[in-house]
């Protein structure tokens, strides 16, 4: 069974793999998928740069690393790849991506998808411009 992962956005925190750092949760996502699936990476990058970046980050053991074909936009190309896998008789078990439109189209093909969306704010105390409300006010509204 195949598991597809978009490199940019899921594993790499940037579009240019020559300078992109890894995402915080990318390794855990990859390792979880690699245990149960033959993993295939989808990337915009040149194949050599993609292989270099994945090796640098210790993300090895791919069934394939596929680079975008120039005649299709990246979202359409990713959907086309999944369509081709299915047409060839492969079972695609899961796809991870950050592009909701791609995942919607892949879901329509009968494939389980997971949308990866990273938090935009840091967890912790938040600064408020107003002073805290008295406890009596807070407990009175509950």
Q: Give residue-wise pLDDT tens across range 64-98.
A: 999 998 888 999 999 999 999 999 999 999 999 99
φ and ψ at residue 3, rounded to 5 degrees = -120, 125
* Strand partners for 48: none
How many Cα neighbours within 13 Å face the side chain of 68?
Answer: 17
Number of domains in the chain: 1
pLDDT of residue 111: 97
How many angstroms from the chain centroid is the CA of residue 8? Answer: 7
- Looking up residue 92, the CATH number of its domain turns out to be 3.40.50.1000
Residue 84 structural domain: 2-141
């Amino acid at each position: 069974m195949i598991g597809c992962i978009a490199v940019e956005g899921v594993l790499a925190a940037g579009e240019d793999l020559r300078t992109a750092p890894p995402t915080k949760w990318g390794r855990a996502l990859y390792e979880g998928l690699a245990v149960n699936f033959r993993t295939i990476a989808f990337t915009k990058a040149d194949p050599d740069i993609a292989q270099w970046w994945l090796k640098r980050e210790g993300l090895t053991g791919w069934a394939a690393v596929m680079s975008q074909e120039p005649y299709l936009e990246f979202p359409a190309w990713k959907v086309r790849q999944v369509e081709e896998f299915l047409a060839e008789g492969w079972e695609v078990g899961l796809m991870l991506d950050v592009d909701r439109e791609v995942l919607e189209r892949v879901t329509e093909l009968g494939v389980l998808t997971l949308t990866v969306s990273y938090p935009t704010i840091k967890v912790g105390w938040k600064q408020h411009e107003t002073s805290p409300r008295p406890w009596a006010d807070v407990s009175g509204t509950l």
